[in-house]
Amino acid sequence: MVTGAVNPSAVGTYPLLYTATDSFGQSASVQRTVRVEDSQPPVVTLLGERVMAIRQYDAFTDPGAQATDICDGDLPVTVSGQVSTGSVGLYRLDYAAVDRQGNRGAAQRTILVNPRVHCADTNGNGRIDLEELLRVIQLFRAGQYSIAAGAATEDGYQPGEGSHDGPPHDADYAPADWKISVMELMRLIQLYHQGGYVPCPDGEDLFCGGPR
């Protein structure tokens, strides 16, 4: 006869008592101790993409992560590392969770901060050239613009109605409403006249005029 029971899903020490009794009513017993341990680290699952790409000065919000442990259930996740959105480069965030037995689970996310090239600057030379300005004037004159499917155009946009499934044009910033206003067009003309632009956090459109 066995007295006691082991719960394999709960960490702990379980005594089991084995007793035998003979036909004269005399009994003897022996005890066994079973220890249930947790040797499995928590599983840390990223929310959002494992590799994320943003442009310089874009706001970055960490989607976070969650951790589950086979014994301890949901656990808090600590994050280390940071993303400096002002500096182009590769960043890593480390997520970790530790269960009550000290087993550690971890996950990583990579964030790529890309250079901020103005959408109008389709040849990427750091200047708004005349033909690039004319292109935005075309979007302005259409009254509205949209995303061109399958990057069918050089800047990925098209005049007129259509999909808004993507980031709006950089020239469309105050507000970003899929319409280029006169004010917004004036701003681009200003950048055109300044002969160049650089990304800058203080610029109304996150750009400042001037040579690179």
Nearer to Ca ion, 95 or 145 (CB): 145
Q: Nearest distance from residue 200's CB to Ca ion, in Å? A: 17
Q: Nearest distance from residue 204's CB to Ca ion, in Å? A: 12
Nearer to Ca ion, 127 or 187 (CB): 127
Q: Nearest distance from residue 181's CB to Ca ion, in Å? A: 5
Binding mask 152-181 for Ca ion (x = CB under 5 A): --------------------x----x-x--
| β pairing state of 104-114 and 51-55 | parallel
> Site for Ca ion (CB under 5 A): which residue of 125, 131, 143, 152?
125
Interaction between residue 121 and Ca ion (CB under 5 A): yes
> Site for Ca ion (CB under 5 A): which residue of 62, 72, 94, 129?
129
